[in-house]
Structure 1
Amino acid sequence: MREKAARLQRSAELWQRGADGERATGEALDALPQQYWTVLHDVAWPGRPRANIDHVAVGPPGVFVIDAKNWSGAVTLRDGHLRQAGRSRLSAVSGVDAAASAVAGVLLPTGAAVTRGILCLAGDSRVSGMAGSIVVRSVSDLRDYLLSLPPVVHERSLPELADQVRTRLASAAVSAPTGAGRRESAKLPRPQAAARPAQSAERARRSGISADLLKLLCVVALLVALATQPQIFAKAATGMAELFTSSLQPDASTDPVSGSTDAPSVGTEKTKQARERKRSRSAQP
């Protein structure tokens, strides 16, 4: 139980540390000039209903998908390789790249062309540079970095782009808690009951196809046998004809007209004798 409590305590610390990093990153983004910048926090990941994106900022330099990290230990960026405490953080960089691609995928081409990903390091890390196509910045200089970028979106087009991002990225706050390590929200119940009719219909369709295929194979086998071994079917037809003919022939002991047998039965002979005796008595005086 102590070991379990220690694991839970460690997990709670990681979640709290991540929440602090997201909060610090959100405060840096909220400090951007509101007349030019639109900032969204904790939005749903397009195409992944159980995942979220920490922050999205829209301004004159374009659309920025920002993932906050509050790592402990030394963070270094050399030759495009990001490491934390000596371990490669390529998976984190790839995650930011995938999130930026997902956001760009739901925007119009003009918005998708100016969408980029930023990995923001909270805490005491002072790292800046590029890890592949992803910008790496510390939270302390995130605001100044965004303001230093040249504008690529016309001032008149900014409200339209901001509305497009706002309407196409739903909030994930109701389905995903805030904190470190949270990339997947609570599992949603699967609509199994709704899927059963479709599954039953699919099984019925497959069964029908299997039955039709079996019938077709039987017909093909019959035709092949008829073409290769015709004498077998000739013998079978002759046997069936003889059997049918023999079943229709009358028995030799049966009268074909009356249906009675040639030899009279015992009961019939006694009846005739009794009638003859009665006729003889009635004829005597």
Structure 2
Amino acid sequence: MSFVSLFSGHIQIVGKTEKFQIFNEKTGKIISYRLLNPDDEISFRVFDIDTLKIFSRIILNKEKEKNYKYEISLGKQKKIVSKQAEISKISHALNGEKISKYNLLKITATNQTEFAIKNISGEKLLVKIGSKDITKSNRNIEFINFTPSKHGKEEIIQIGEKSFTYFFPQNGKIEFTLEGPIILKIVSRMIFNDNMAKKYKYDFNVYDNGKLISKIKETAYKSTKAILTKNTDRILSSGEVNIFKLSEGIHKIKIENKNKNRDLIFRFYISKSGIEIKEL
């Protein structure tokens, strides 16, 4: 079993990005941003969010002010944002670099689940995402794992003294039916075919009642703890977690691996309260 905090609103970063820490001399606080080099992109998934706040800055060297741009992709819409950067008098990077004051952009995200920010300027861009809708609840959700009704072969992995069962897709698909309201947690891993590679990108689709609800894109990094018990020569990636809040009613879920040259395995959890797993 596992526990996660329940949020009335939740923002999840997809993949791995470099953190960039800023010190505010006025408040004495250290604030974490995400660093995007030119042409870099960062993706997010949002849950129960109406309005997003995008805080942006750039790293300034000798300049006191400069213009910069970034592109926002929200659903099928794309928007180019232009901002003017002025050097901050109260904040600086922990590594000593000078940074600009933050610029704030508010965007409506009602009924949206995914968005991305791409740095289209020649500057090093710093971004931080927030929302007034994020309020941490005092209660926790208890999760239990379950076996999907349609899947391929099983794979046992070992982490320390504990073992976990993961599932390969069958003909590229894993299927099961849940009754909501319920929270679904999907843990995905990739098995490296090339032990020399440091990382690989992979993706998979999630369908609910035949409708594509999310295109998951991940970057697989080699795990230093997880081991394949049946084939110790092959290397696993670290586990990537995605959470879906399913509304009341029947949900026929399908996980589809469309990567022809990526071996993906999955483990599934559901919130313990109100659990009912239907047979297909």
Task: Please indicate the TM-score interval, normalised by the length of the shorter structure.
Answer: under 0.3
> Higher relative contact order at CA 8 Å, sep ≥6: structure 1 or structure 2?
2
TM-score by length of 2: 0.22
Bigger proportion of residues as helix? 1
Computing the radius of gyration over CA atoms, which structure comes out larger, 1 or 2? 1
In proportion to residue count, which structure has more strand? Answer: 2
- TM-score w.r.t. the length of structure 1 is 0.22
